Amino acid sequence: MTRSTRQLTLEALTAAHKQVQDLAIHGDWNQLFMLPTAPFFAKYEYYFQITAWTTRKNGE
């Protein structure tokens, strides 16, 4: 069974989101902005900082 382009794209985005989430939770901003998608994520740096802080605060 072959996977559709949509499914592959969703898998790639899910993996990228997980990687970004892990880096943000650990506060590793240098690594976060070295990702190929850095220009996109740079726009949302404040959002990621708040998300990471909230996640750490809630102990998740």
- Give pLDDT, residue 43: 61
pTM more than 0.75? no
DSSP at 27? T
* pLDDT at site 7: 78
Q: What b-and-e string marks burial along 26-38, b requiring 16 or more CB atoms within 10 Å of the CB?
A: eeeeeebeeeeee
The boundaries of the domain holding residue 36 are 5-57
Q: How many domains does the chain have?
A: 1
**pLDDT string in tens for the chain (60-residue length):** 467 777 777 777 777 777 777 777 776 666 766 666 655 655 666 666 666 666 666 655
